[in-house]
Structure formats: structure tokens, C-alpha cells
Amino acid sequence: MKIQRKAGFLIAKIHHLGGRILARKLKEYKLNAINPGQGRILFALWQGDGISIQELTKKTSLGKSTLTSMLDRLEASGYIARVPSAEDRRKIIINLTEKDRKLQNVYIQISKEMTELFYRGFKAKEMDEFEAYLKRILDNLQSFGKDEK
């Protein structure tokens, strides 16, 4: 009997349940205006804002239309600002606002809590190995995605 691998199924379940827990934590911290997808955008911008929508698409792995609609909501809520690029007027640059910067410490705390929950019971070496495996899976999927284009 052939063993059926469940990685995709398990990753989907982890993603779904992790998103629900993250949404609950955002609500507990009174950050109801931000959903997990928008949090991914903000997280990418905390690594360095002042980037184009194309760069943000790569960093978040969100489709351009999905990203655009989420940016619309974040901008309407005052968390980000779109500004024309000084070098290329066809490009729009995404910047964080003071409203977002004031809440960044809360987001960092929630992220820390989520990381602790994900890795409960793991040793440092196990975390490193696990993340290396996940990176390989991501690379495989991204490579396949490039082949389709």
C-alpha cells in the first residue's frame, strides 16, 4: 500500500487555523480594522517601506488585483499612503503612515505570540530544519509558477 503524503493538506489546514487565531488576536488587541492579509502587507512594509506595488507583490506573494484592493482599504483607513515615484511617474510608491507606525509594536507582539504558538515544543535546530524544508517547498512552487508563464 502506497503512503499518501499530506503536506499540502496540512499546510492548508495550518494556514486556515493560523489565520483564524491571528484574526482573534488582532481583535483581542483591538485591531479589528486589520485582517490577516492586510497584516501580511504591513509586515512586508515594516521590513522597508517606500517600495513599488510590484516589489510589494513579490514580497507578499499576493496577486496584483488582490493587493490593490487591500491597499485601497489600508489607505482609506489611514495605514498607508500612495505617492508617485520621483524617478518614474508610472510607478506608485507605498509608504507607511504615522498611524501604522504607532501600532507597529502591537503587531510585533502579536507576531511574537503567533511564532511562540507555532513553535511550541520545538528545539532551535528543529525550527531551522523545518523552515529550510518550507523554503524548499516554496522554491519548488515558485519554480513551477515560472514554468507556467
- In tens digits, the chain (149 residues) has pLDDT values of 788 889 999 999 999 999 899 889 988 988 777 777 888 898 899 888 899 999 999 898 888 889 999 999 999 989 999 999 888 888 899 999 988 877 888 888 998 999 999 999 999 999 999 999 999 998 998 898 666 55
Q: Which three cell numbers stand for residue 36?
A: 490577516
Supply the pLDDT for residue 39: 82
Supply the pLDDT for residue 37: 80
DSSP bridge partners of 93: 52, 83
Using CA atoms, how far apart are residues 18 and 122, in angstroms rounded to an integer? 17
The structural domains of the chain, ordered by start, are 12-118 (1.10.10.10)
Q: What is the pTM of this model?
A: 0.71
Supply the pLDDT for residue 137: 93
DSSP bridge partners of 51: 94
